[in-house]
Structure formats: C-alpha cells, structure tokens
Structure 1
Amino acid sequence: MRYSLLDLSPVPEGFTAADALRNTGDLAQHAERLGYHRYWMAEHHNMPGIASAATAVLIGHVAGLTKTMRVGAGGIMLPNHAPLAVAEAFGTLATLYPGRIDLGLGRAPGGDQAVMQALGVHHARAENFHNEVAELRELFGPENPDRRVRALPGEGTGVPLWILGSSLHGAQVAAMLGLPYAFASHFAPAALEQAFEVYRRYFKPSESLDKPHAMMAVNIFAADTEAEARRLRTTMQLGFYRLRTGRPGKLPAPVDDLSAVVPQAALPAVNEALRITAVGAPPQVEAQLRALIETHRPDEVIFTGQIHDHAARKRSFEIAAQVMQRINSEAVAA
C-alpha cells in the first residue's frame, strides 16, 4: 500500500513563514528518502499558521528539491480559479517535472466570506464543480489545434486529477468521472465510511482509471515514547480548537495539560473531529494503523500531523514510514 504525506507548511509560534517554507523543503527531501509516494500541499488563505497559500508555487519549489517522489496539490480549491489558469499552472509544472505532478481538486473556498470576496469568488461557482473538473481534464487531454482556448503548456500533459472531499458530494463526482478520490478524514471523519461506499458503488471506469482508488487521510503523532507522542498531539488539538472558535493563529507549542487551555466541554468535539489518528510509540502506532486500514480498506493512505517542533515532526513521519514498510513487507510475504 502506497503511503503519502500532506504538508500544510505550518508556521509554528515563534517562527516565520520563511522558516515554515524551509521546513517544507527539508521535510520533502526527508519524505523522499523514507519512500513516501506523494507529497501534497493544500490551498488555504488568510491563515497565520499556514504558509501554503500559493500552492502551485510551492509545488514547483518542492519538485525542484526532490527527484522521484510525486508532488502535488491536496488540493487546489477550484472555485477560486479559472480552470484555464489552473491548467496552465499545472501544465507548466508537469512540463518541468514530467510524470511527477498530481492535481487534487476541492470545491470549498479555502477561506471565509472575506477571503471569497477578496478573490472575487461567488458561492455559485461551487455548484459547477463537476463541469469545471471535466473541463480541466479536457484541457490536459490530447493536443487539439481546433480548440478555441488551449492550455499551453498543459495540453497533452495528462496531469492526473484527484477529487478531494469531506462529504458525499466529492465521492459522487469522483465516481461519476472515474477519478481517484481522497477523503479528508484527518479533520472531518463523520462521512468517511459512507463516502467510500458511495464512491466504490457508483464508480464508472474512465480513461484515467479502470477501478476505484480511495485514499484515506490519517493524523500521525509518533515518537519514541507514548508520553511524548501524546504531548506532541496537543499542538493540533489546541490549534483545531482555536480555529473552530474563530481564533486561528500560528501553530501552538505543545502543552503538558490540555485541559488548562481547552475547556473540558469542548474536548470531545475536538477529539471526534481528529479521531482518524494514530498516536504513540511505534508499536502503538502500528496497531492503530493496522486497525484503521482493516476497518476502512483504503487503497492508499496519506499522513499528516501538525507538530510544532520540526525535528519531532520529521521523526513522526519517519516512524509512520517504517510502520508502513513493515505492513507492506508482511503483505508481500503473504
């Protein structure tokens, strides 16, 4: 089973966006050495703790620092962009780094109402999502001199498209268009089982894909001891609580006592939203990952994890890779 990595280029408290971007480059090279198949970045706007807003620019940077690993968007929020502009940007990336670029597409705005206004985006754009995805696939398709508007570069590159989702809508679009599907179970797991079931049941083979391919996102907080891993996890729990209560900021440092900074009544909702998580020392992470894989039967997993300390974050993804390598070696032997 392929394992991949989702990086939001987090900006930790006490650091800058420049630090975050340097960390992304370092983490990408580390991930490639560890056998990660894809390295994805996501479009978010007006977020002090996320430095991946100009996602295509950052993808080019990471692709230039790596050699073989696929690099892409997980994802581009399509309502924010004209399909032609996306096709030209990713067509250029695919021309520079052939066979290595992925394009995951979401229908959310990647920001609030003020962000949508600043981007000149209207809510109605999201309703046309499936048509714009189909248009993008055509723009990346075979050369067609008769096409009135062409993506140049872009045409003929066949950039692989993925549909992202946290609800059933994305599953339906991915199934209808015969595209691979990635579910945002790392922060919105409620519809995970139903979305995978809908996607697999209604999948229509296409030129892109002959059978369903579903990817599950998992938060990873792995360390050499369980206590350290659980402490690392408090960063994401606290950051998620602040985001949900309208106080987004830089990625907070971990705390010894989460209940001192997050009200006890709020913790169950935070933990439920982040329940697709493996946390602990390597044996515990392995047991939890095996259980998640057995339960949800993904075709691929993508790991993420908002950890304040860069070295600890690298170690966490290293443990996750080692666990997946053991799982995969057992599957081959069987």
Structure 2
Amino acid sequence: MSTKLKYAAIGLAMTAFAAPALADGELHIYNWGNYTNPELIKKFEEAYKVKVTVTDYDSNDTALAKIRAGGHGFDIVVPSANFMPVWIKEGLLAETRPDQMENFKNIEDRWVNVEWDPGRHYSVPWQWGSTGVIVDTSLYKGDINTSGIIFNPPDELKGKINVAPEMNDVMAAVIWYLGGQWCTADKELLKKARDTLVEAKKSWISMDYGVIEKFASRDFGAAYYWNGAALRSRQQNKDVRYGYPKEGYPLFMDSVAVLKDAKNLENAKLFQNFIMDPQNAALISAFANYANGIKGSDQYLPEHMKGAPEVEIPAEFVSKGQFFKLCEPEVTALYSQIWTELLK
C-alpha cells in the first residue's frame, strides 16, 4: 500500500505522563510491507537514541494472528479501521491516551472522534486512502470510474488485469457493483456476486500485491488496488490514471497502536507523539504516497503529491467512498466461501 524526501530533524517533547524526551533502548514496529519510510525511522532514532526494528506483514489477518499467538516481541502495530475494534475488544492494545499527548492537536478534526477508536484513546493516524481502479489509458479510453473495469472487463484490458488479494475490498466492490449493501447475507445477491467474480477472473492475469513495476513495464493494463500505488505507478507510466468507482469504493485508515504486552512502552508512546508532528507525518506520506490525517503536513509534502487526484478525492466522488465494518461471523463465513471458490 510507497519516494523519499529529506527533512531537518526536530526535537519533540511528550506530555508529562509519558516518557522523558531523551529516551534510549529499542522499539519494534510491526507494519504493512513497503509502508514505512526509512528516513522517518532514522530521524526518530537520532532524536531519541532508540534503535528501531521494522517487521512487515501483508494483511490485517496475518498481523492479528501473529499477536494473538503471543511471543512476538513487537511494541507497535498498525491495524486498519475495520479491524481496530477487534484489537481493542480482545485487550491486545495498551490505552496510551494519544488524546493527552502534546501533538494530538495536529490531528485533523475528521480523524479525532472516529468510530473505531472514539476520542483516540489507543491510536494515532498513520495513513488513509482508498481502493479503486488503476488503468493504463494508452490501452483503454473509456470510463475508468466504475468497477465494471474489473467485473465486466472491456476487451482492451482482458488478460491484463490484476486484483489485490484482499477479501473484504473485493467482496465490498462486487456487492456495491451489483447494487447491494456491505455485510448483506442476501443469498440471491451473493450468488450473483460469486458468479460475477468467477466469470471476471477469466479475464484477470493475477491476484497479487505489487503493481507499480508491472504498470511501468506495461504488463498490467488495469488493477483493483490502492490509491498510493496508483500515484507511484503514474510517476513511472504517464498514461496511468486512478478511477473512483461510482458504484462505491472502500476507504481505509491505518493507525499506529501500542501492544498491551509491549516491552518498550514508553518508546512506543514517544513514536505515537512523534508521528503526529506535521513534518514527520509528511515523511510518512512522502514514502507511500497516501494522505496522513495531520494538519499542517501538506506544506511539507513532495510537489507531486500536492493536488494529486489519487490523494485528494475529486468532489464528485467523495460521497461514494465508504469505510466498512467487520461483518457478523455468519456473514463473513459466507464471504469466505465465495473467496475460497474464487481462489481455486
């Protein structure tokens, strides 16, 4: 869900309840792959004399399973909005009270009292964005603001379509494409969804992560993927454009939370406060090309991100974006059956 800019390091102080400004020791971060700016980590290490280790994961399910199993050694994790309530309910996170930290004032108002962490008692924004349609417009000149590109592919794109292997994103997209609501258990609609996916897959080349190089080499003509990757793809292939499906598209926000059994709790709190500073939030975005939710960070972003349609959702498509919750277990089981059949 990625280049790099250099900024001058600045010192940060935590509120009185947290750790001293000059820390030492270690910090172990468990984050999505290709999602953490090495320059951000270097800046934090130099500011607080903390050695940081970053370990990657590829899905919310992978991260949750790893932490549930115990013995992981991590201090920080970065769950998506729809998974955050599970982490909190299961007691896996420390209530670090970011709302009482010095830099909390920098969070954009819309991201403060969020449904998945009301008042931000556990987490701070990392990055947010959308899942939509990436298209090489040298191959296809039609409307790209539709999931039909993926589920009823035009001839020009058949055999050149990649779909992110993310069940919730794909299931939400096909359900919305067919006029349904997320978490529906309507068997007739779900049968249509299954049939639509199975038939569409015949026109896909892959269901994989990593699309930027494939668009650069023009091996991909379209993809159902994340907006940050779309922007990075356009930097390497001028014909790439990002479409916002008019039928509906998923929004996500990944947030930094501290694990209940973190061995480096105070350093983890320092990191939460650190990334709410506008310059540091801009470093996060400069690497992965997603918005970050921190006021004042825009002025520090690289020029190619400012006003980019992949980052700033065009007004006509704002209302079509939706955060989705985790469905009831029995509904998730139905979706998993469809997903398993699709992956055969």
Bin of the TM-score, shorter chain as denominator length: under 0.3
Higher RCO (CA-CA < 8 Å; seq separation 6+): 2
Using the size of structure 2 for normalisation, the TM-score is 0.26
Q: Give the structure with the higher percent helix.
A: 1
